[in-house]
Chains A and B, each alone.
Chain A
Amino acid sequence: MSRVLGMVWLTFREVWAKKITLGLFVVCTILWMLMAFALNLDIVEGSLTGVRLFGQDTGAPTETRQDEAGNSVTEALSLETFVVTIQAAVAGVGYWVATLLGLFAVAALLPSVLDRGHADVLFSKPMTRLSILSGHVLGVAAVGLLLASYLFGLIFLVMSLKTGYWNFRFLLSIPIVVSMLLVMYGVMVLLAVRTGSSALCLIVTYGLIVASLVFLGHEQLRAQINPPWRSVFVGLYHILPNFAEVTEPVAKLAGIDAVTRWYPYISSLIFGACMYVLAAISLVRRDF
């Protein structure tokens, strides 16, 4: 275990040394400071009476609903609904920000570990290659957890202190963000083991994220595609990670609505697991 922890420490130190992490913490700090200073809420006896953004009064937020007679009724938004709605939106945006920035921060790590001269020393130690890879991935998970906890934790803290409403469901976004970061990092691990190119790792992983945006409209697109290609499209939808679609469960988990569809998340996890298995097989068989 001590050896695996050594790899975790090495990953941490390398991320820190690359200064990118520092940049990420600055970006996250700007985000939560915006939340802390730009958004001012007027709360009177537990009710939201006004919202000011950068000092500008935007008025009290309202919601429109149907009454029993079927008429539209506009009334003031409750504090809880306001907080949860904002947090659901922040969770969705934070999911993208944290994952994209996190992947950028860690893209060069494994190619650096597998670089000749460094790999020779590491793999000559009495550790299996799987232990070395596990320690490295654990290190990346720890970096992701730290980054996501910093971003989501501070936003949660700021909003809760400002409103007095503590929506702990918002924190459930953290494990989803970290796990999706690891799913996408699985692609990087496989490519790093096979090619050693950090540029290729980034291009392909971001490419898959862009492709997942196309799959957002998979039901409409499926109807438009001719039969021979439809199966290919559907197959790709099920095989590739549904990164964009996972935004919905992340936001719903932080909000009021129940998550009705976990499939995109589960299929993405399976995809990630397959990437790690393939990467492990390649690493064990590779000559250095």
Chain B
Amino acid sequence: MSHAPQAAFQVSQLTKVYNRGFRKEGVRALESLDLHVAPGEIFGLLGPNGAGKTTLVKILLGLVKPSGGTATLLGHSVSDARARERVGYLPENHRFPGFLTGGEMLQLYGQLAGVSHRDRQRRVPELLDLVSMGRWRDTRIKQYSKGMMQRVGIAQAMISDPDVIFLDEPTDGVDPVGRKDIRDILLHLNGLGKTVFINSHLLSEIEQVCTRVAIMNHGRLAKEGTVSGLTSEASNYRLRCGRIPASIVSDWRLVEDAAEETDDQRTYTAAELELDRLNTLIDILRANNVMISAVERDRQSLEDYFIQVVGRESTP
């Protein structure tokens, strides 16, 4: 907490190629990736399967060696074990030793993270209570449900009181109430000034907690920004107006909603229109004596935006 790093982490021209033997061409998991995450953010990383999200996190945690570029975590090169001293991590498909109890597991990972015995004695019950697992402290992990494993896994990621926490699919297998609890924990951590980095397929979760998101595809950064910024980047607009000449409908790819048609009013949808283009359309309509009674923006969800970006990039 006494650290004041310029970036929680930063990657520059980061490239990873997984070799597949001498004769086969390597798989390019990351391609000249640049990304900067500031301290105190809740940052969401999105992308389809194979986009390179997990590879990025694994490089930052020293689990995978980069093929090129640089990566720093809290000011240290990721190849330096000290970089991980103030970092917590919950991997996807984690497998904690089932023969340990939840309390023993936290004690063990705390010890491996360099937390003193005294601090562990204090933090283990605190964290178990925080993730609502206090009464399961002495139960073996192999008897836990998936949701309980996620909760205790989050506690494990927090055992060293880290400045940066990486969570890979933290709400995977958790029921809606549990997901709400986890969201609250993440917001609580963020309130304490922690940087939280989330990899998730559950876009609604990301949308609810993240201050900034990035979308990766084919190992590259496709988009990056705040949730509201990205979803309002190009929106759909609904226009309530008189009949629009067919040529304009065709040129602007307007879609008429027949269900809402009245004698003198029609409803049209203009898809993925930026604000300046919308104003141009309105000018054209007014020049053609089309009476406009309402213009409404259909705010996109993050999921719509994600599909739009990834779908567009995937189109040959």
CB–CB A120/B99 < 8 A = no
**Interface size class, chain A:** 20 to 34
- Residues of B with C-beta under 8 A to A9: 108, 111
Cα distance A117–B156 in the bound complex, in angstroms:
13
| A65 in the interface (beta carbon within 8 A) | no
Instruction: Identify which of A93-101, A125-133, A138-146, A264-272 touches chain B.
Output: A125-133
User: For chain B residues 181-232, which have a beta carbon within 8 Å of chain A?
Assistant: none
Most buried by B among A7, A126, A128: A126
Q: Does A256 contact B (CB under 8 A)?
A: no
Considering the complex, give the chain A residue whose CB is closest to the CB of B88: A124
Contact with A along B87-118 (1 / 0, CB 8 A): 10101011111011000100011011110010
Q: Given the known inter-chain contacts A13-B99, A288-B64, please indicate yes or no for A120 contacting B91, CB distance below 8 A.
A: yes
Judge whether A2 and B111 touch: CB under 8 Å: yes
Cβ of A122: which chain B residues have Cβ within 8 Å of it? 112
Contact A121-B99, Cβ < 8 Å, known A6-B111, A116-B93: no
Asked whether, in the complex, the Cβ of B99 is within 8 Å of the Cβ of A125, the reply is no
Over the window 87-131 of chain A, the binary record of Cβ atoms lying under 8 Å from chain B Cβ atoms (1 yes, 0 no) is 000000000000000000000000000011111111111111000
Interface size class of B (residues with CB under 8 A): 20 to 34
Contact: A125 with B84, CB < 8 Å?
yes
A5 at the interface (CB under 8 A from B): yes
- A266-288 residues at the B interface, CB under 8 angstroms: 285, 287-288
With beta carbons under 8 angstroms apart, the residue of A13, A125, A128, A287 that contacts B18 is A287
Contact partner, B114, options A3, A13, A116, A285, Cβ 8 Å: A3
Asked if A2 and B87 sit within 8 Å, CB to CB, the answer is no
B67 to chain A, nearest CB (A): 10
Q: Is B85 an interface residue (CB 8 A)?
A: yes
| A203 vs chain B, min Cβ distance (A) | 24
Q: A2-B114, A3-B114, A10-B108 are in contact. Are A123 and B97 (CB under 8 A)?
A: no
B96–chain A nearest beta-carbon distance, Å: 7
Distance A94 CA – B81 CA, assembled complex (angstroms): 42
Q: Does B46 contact A (CB under 8 A)?
A: no
Residue B58 is within 8 A (CB to CB) of chain A in the complex: yes
Given contacts A3-B114, A17-B99, A118-B97, A124 and B108 within 8 Å (CB-CB): no
Q: Is B307 in the interface zone, CB < 8 Å from A?
A: no
How far apart are B118's CB and chain A's nearest CB, in angstroms?
12
A-B contact list, 7 entries, CB within 8 Å: A14-B99, A115-B95, A117-B94, A120-B89, A126-B113, A285-B65, A287-B65
Which residues of chain B have a CB within 8 Å of any CB of chain A? 18, 58, 61-65, 81-85, 87, 89, 91, 93-97, 99-100, 104, 108-109, 111-114, 117, 156
The 4 A-B residue pairs whose C-beta atoms are closest, nearest first, are A17-B99, A117-B95, A6-B111, A120-B91
